[in-house]
């Protein structure tokens, strides 16, 4: 019966039996239905059996059976065929080798010739009828066996007729003859369907020149020449032959032999001790370059052709540079290679295919990049070497610019020759790069190289120390002027900053130079800040150099660090005023951040003198409060309040004030005033937000101090303040004063009553604590039992609900 039937409906319906009686009726009806169903199923089975016995069921009416999936073969028929043929050919070849090497001595010379000749002729002739019958794979296997037998014939001939000959020379002649024989065999009209003879002939052709060079004892240069000639032959085959297998094998041979020959020639060129050896190595490298460039000229794929052209260009540079290395005086190796690399740019004026021209230009660029990398250690020493003066400041001006730069780093050899690299590369970038897309990048690179050259030039030429300072100062000013007129502004600004840093450290050798340089740098960057697009970078730099000038001025005047901090605060104040005048400029935030950093520096300088530290903190608070006057910098007021508080604490510590309330009340009173103001503007604000921090700042530290205070004054005053706080919280129904004041009042009272409680506990009988503990446990048990009863009641209510 549905549960949602109302009582009014039930009164108008027919009488319904009780649930137990209705359940019995339903069970009886279901039992009768099951019995009738069993009878019907039994009758149906008998009828089906009778019909099947009377006549057979047609095949179309029989139940379909699931088809059995045939097993899938794991290999293909051609694969099985090729594997069997390969194994057969290998086994026959092994058998022939065993017969030739082991069983050879059992036959005479006539028998030997007849056996090997008959077997070889049969193996080489059998593929022709097999090809006519369409058995190409079998023909390939038999042809491979025949080719292997020719190799065994050559070995047998050497063992019988040419036993005393040189092994390398015989190998060269035999491999050449075998290559010719296999080529002729593969080019026969009846052997047109065989794919193995021509690749095998090409593989054999890799050996004659190499083994001839070994047998002729022509040395490394002869071996390199043999390898390069072989590579040239392979290159020609790869470019002319149409068969894919031959072309791929020829390309592999060309790159392999060419790489070995070129590396050998390069090693000979670098190791050459005289012009003759260098000229021979240069000839070999030139041959390798001609092969690479010839291949690049004919290759159809532009990317592959460009790669071959790059290789050819680098080989030409190695050839010419090797000759110049042994011809020019010592130290001119890098300029010699650079000259050869720049000579490759003549390809821009020649009628060459575009991939070849592009490859030669890229090869020249690679050589120039290597030359610049060789000069990099020199530039690093010239620019970063002055950093060592940070540990040896004002120890006296050095003798020249090189001594000033190499104060803690070794000076590289041949600096003049190395510096030619960046100069020449900068000229190439500025004069020869004309494309609209690459012209800005080239000008940027040329500017960087020219800047590095000028910054390094005083140390290379060993100019006087003052000349180095003047030159680097001029570079800084020129970079700022270029940036001001928007000539490569980003690059020029970056170079100006880098030059100024190197100049500032370089000036640390002398006191007069330091003060002068820092003053000039501050003025330069301040003047550059008049340009709006430079101000975000130059204005913070001017603040930094002003700070450095303030520190060095105090140091020169023999001031103590805490007194120098006051001079640094002048820079902080100037930065704050400058930031206020910048308005919505992008330079405002960098200037403010830099000014804040100078304030932290002032605090650090005064940290060893607490009275002066309190003054510095107070002055920083004044600057922060002045910044907070601006509508967009209101949060600086919190910083000002914190700084004022720190200043008061430091001053109290300097006066040896040990009373806790002297430190906490300056926090509590302003915090409570702010809380009252907050509640007046927002009555819905929580009392914890308005008063919690201010009350806790005094009550909790005073409570901790009262627990260790043996006198009665602090606990009495603390209890009075806590009582007043509790009453105020109860009067105005504020949670924070009520909870904090009441908690502190209770704890303070317990602290004061603790001695009397201890005395009272000692006066009680010993059974009283156990009785109190028993009563406590009984109370807890009763409470626990009541809670369990409440839980059961709630569970019963929930189970009765729908």
The CA distance from 89 to 138, in Å, is 9
The CA distance from 159 to 148, in Å, is 17
How open is the CA angle 402-408-414, to the nearest 5 degrees?
45
Let me know if 213 is exposed, middle or buried by CB neighbors in 10 A (0-12, 13-18, 19+).
buried
The CA distance from 627 to 619, in Å, is 12
Q: How many other CB atoms are found less than 10 A from the CB of residue 191?
A: 20
Q: How many other CB atoms are found less than 10 A from the CB of residue 760?
A: 10
The torsion angle over the Cα atoms of residues 682, 685, 691 and 694, rounded to 10 degrees, is -80
Residue 523 has a pLDDT of 94
**DSSP single-letter state for residue 194:** -
Decide: helix, strand or coil at residue 537: helix
Residue 95 has a pLDDT of 52
Tell me if 543 sits within 8 A of 594, measured CB to CB: yes
Around 583, how many Cα atoms within 13 Å sit in the side-chain half-sphere? 2
Tell me if 157 sits within 8 A of 150, measured CB to CB: no
Decide: helix, strand or coil at residue 3: coil
CA of 91: how far to CAs of 80, 87, 96, in Å? Answer: 16, 6, 9
Q: How many other CB atoms are found less than 10 A from the CB of residue 115?
A: 17
Q: Based on DSSP, count helices (H) and strands (E) in the chain, helices before strands.
A: 32, 0
Tokens linked to 512: 């007069």
Residue 392 has a pLDDT of 84
CA of 398: how far to CAs of 310, 380, 403, in Å? Answer: 47, 19, 6
Residue 656 has a pLDDT of 74
The CA distance from 489 to 480, in Å, is 9
Residue closest to 411 by CA, chosen among 399, 402, 420: 402
Residue 761 has a pLDDT of 60
The CA distance from 145 to 122, in Å, is 10
The CA distance from 566 to 618, in Å, is 11
Around 347, how many Cα atoms within 13 Å sit in the side-chain half-sphere? 25
The CA distance from 497 to 536, in Å, is 13
Tell me if 535 sits within 8 A of 493, measured CB to CB: no
Tokens linked to 674: 């702010």
Residues of the chain with pLDDT under 70: 1-16, 54-117, 131, 134, 136, 160-161, 164, 191-192, 658, 709, 753-774, 776-788, 794-795, 797-802
Q: How many other CB atoms are found less than 10 A from the CB of residue 722?
A: 25
Tell me if 540 sits within 8 A of 573, measured CB to CB: no
Tell me if 307 sits within 8 A of 358, measured CB to CB: no
**DSSP single-letter state for residue 689:** I
The CA distance from 777 to 783, in Å, is 10
- Helices 415-432 and 439-461, packing angle to 10 deg: 160
Dihedral (CA of 467, 486, 450, 544) sign: positive
The CA distance from 377 to 291, in Å, is 36
Counting every residue written for the chain, the total comes to 802
The CA distance from 360 to 366, in Å, is 10
Tokens linked to 143: 């042809």
pLDDT digits (tens, 9 = 90+) for 747-763: 777 777 666 666 656 65
How open is the CA angle 713-715-718, to the nearest 5 degrees?
105
- pTM for the full predicted model: 0.69
Tell me if 279 sits within 8 A of 323, measured CB to CB: yes
Tell me if 637 sits within 8 A of 678, measured CB to CB: no
The CA distance from 337 to 324, in Å, is 8
Residue 2 has a pLDDT of 45
Decide: helix, strand or coil at residue 352: coil
Dihedral (CA of 386, 387, 388, 389) sign: positive
CA of 342: how far to CAs of 317, 325, 335, 403, 639, in Å? Answer: 9, 16, 10, 34, 62
Q: Where are the beta strands (DSSP E) in 624-772?
A: none
Residue 9 has a pLDDT of 46
Decide: helix, strand or coil at residue 5: coil
Characterize 45-64 residue by residue with b for buried, 16 or more Cβ atoms within 10 angstroms of its Cβ, and e for exposed.
Answer: eeeeeeeeeeeeeeeeeeee
């Amino acid at each position: 019966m549905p549960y949602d039937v109302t009582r009014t409906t039930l009164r108008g319906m027919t009488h319904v039996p009780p649930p137990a009686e209705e359940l019995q009726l339903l069970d009886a009806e279901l039992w009768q239905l099951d019995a009738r169903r069993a009878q019907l199923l039994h009758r149906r089975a008998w009828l089906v059996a009778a019909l099947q016995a009377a006549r057979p069921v047609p095949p179309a009416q029989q139940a379909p059976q699931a088809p059995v999936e045939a097993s899938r073969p794991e290999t293909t028929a051609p694969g099985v065929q090729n594997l069997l043929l390969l194994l057969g050919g290998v086994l026959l070849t092994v058998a022939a080798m065993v017969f030739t090497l082991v069983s050879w001595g059992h036959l005479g010379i006539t028998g030997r010739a007849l056996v090997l000749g008959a077997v070889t002729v049969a193996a080489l002739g059998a593929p022709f009828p097999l090809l006519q019958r369409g058995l190409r794979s079998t023909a390939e296997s038999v042809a491979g066996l025949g080719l292997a037998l020719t190799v065994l014939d050559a070995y047998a001939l050497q063992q019988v007729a040419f036993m005393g000959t040189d092994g390398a020379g015989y190998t060269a002649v035999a491999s050449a003859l075998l290559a010719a024989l296999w080529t002729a065999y593969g080019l026969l009209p009846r052997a047109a369907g065989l794919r193995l003879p021509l690749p095998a002939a090409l593989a054999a052709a890799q050996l004659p020149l190499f083994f001839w060079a070994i047998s002729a004892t022509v040395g490394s240069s002869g071996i390199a020449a043999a390898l390069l000639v072989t590579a040239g032959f392979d290159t020609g085959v790869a470019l002319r032959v149409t068969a894919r297998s031959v072309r791929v094998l020829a390309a592999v041979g060309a790159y392999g032999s060419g790489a070995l020959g070129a590396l050998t020639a390069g090693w000979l060129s670098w190791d050459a001790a005289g012009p003759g050896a260098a000229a021979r190595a240069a000839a070999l490298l030139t041959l390798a370059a001609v092969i690479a460039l010839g291949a690049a000229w004919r290759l159809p794929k532009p990317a592959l052709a460009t790669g071959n052209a790059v290789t050819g260009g680098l080989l030409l540079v190695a050839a010419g540079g090797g000759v110049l290395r042994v011809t020019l005086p010592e130290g001119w190796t890098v300029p010699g290679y650079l000259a050869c690399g720049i000579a490759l740019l003549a390809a821009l004026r020649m009628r060459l295919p575009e991939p070849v021209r592009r490859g030669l230009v890229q090869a020249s660029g690679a050589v120039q990049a290597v030359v610049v990398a060789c000069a990099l250690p020199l530039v690093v020493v010239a620019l970063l070497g002055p950093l060592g003066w940070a540990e040896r400041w004002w120890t006296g001006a050095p003798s020249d610019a090189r001594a000033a730069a190499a104060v803690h780093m070794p000076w590289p050899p041949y600096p003049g020759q190395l510096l030619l690299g960046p100069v020449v590369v900068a000229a190439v970038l500025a004069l020869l790069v004309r494309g609209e897309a690459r012209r800005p990048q080239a000008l940027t690179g040329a500017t960087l190289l020219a800047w590095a050259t000028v910054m390094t030039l005083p140390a290379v030429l060993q100019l006087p120390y003052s000349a180095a300072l003047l030159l680097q100062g001029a570079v800084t000013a020129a970079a700022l002027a270029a940036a001001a007129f928007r000539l490569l502004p980003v690059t020029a600004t970056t170079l100006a900053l880098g030059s100024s840093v190197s100049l500032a450290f370089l000036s640390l050798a002398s006191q007069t130079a330091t003060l002068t340089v820092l003053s000039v740098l501050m003025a330069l960057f301040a003047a550059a800040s008049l340009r709006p697009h430079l101000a975000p970078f130059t204005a913070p730099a001017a603040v930094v150099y002003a700070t450095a000038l303030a520190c060095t001025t105090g140091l020169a005047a023999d001031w103590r660090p805490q007194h120098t901090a006051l001079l640094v605060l002048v820079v902080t104040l100037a930065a704050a005023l400058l930031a206020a005048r910048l308005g919505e400029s992008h330079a405002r935030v960098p200037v403010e951040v830099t000014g804040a950093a100078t304030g932290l520096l002032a605090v650090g300088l005064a940290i060893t003198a607490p009275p002066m530290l309190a003054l510095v903190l107070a002055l920083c608070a004044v600057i922060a409060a002045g910044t907070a006057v601006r509508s967009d910098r209101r949060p600086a007021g919190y910083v000002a309040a914190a700084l004022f508080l720190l200043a008061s604490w430091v001053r109290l510590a300097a006066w040896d004030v040990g009373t806790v309330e002297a430190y906490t009340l300056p926090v509590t009173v302003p915090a409570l005033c702010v809380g009252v103001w907050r509640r007046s503007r927002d009555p819905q604000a929580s009392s914890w937000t308005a008063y919690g921090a201010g009350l806790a700042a005094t009550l909790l530290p005073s409570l901790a101090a009262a627990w260790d205070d043996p006198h009665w004054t602090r606990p009495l005053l603390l209890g009075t303040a806590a009582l007043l706080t509790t009453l105020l919280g109860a009067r105005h129904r504020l949670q924070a004063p009520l909870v904090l004041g009441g908690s502190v009042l209770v704890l303070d009272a317990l602290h004061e009553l603790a001695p009397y409680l201890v005395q009272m506990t000692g006066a009680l009988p010993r059974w009283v604590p156990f009785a109190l503990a028993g009563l406590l446990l009984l109370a807890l048990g009763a409470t626990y039992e009541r809670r369990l009863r409440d839980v059961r009641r709630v569970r019963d209510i929930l189970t009765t609900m729908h």
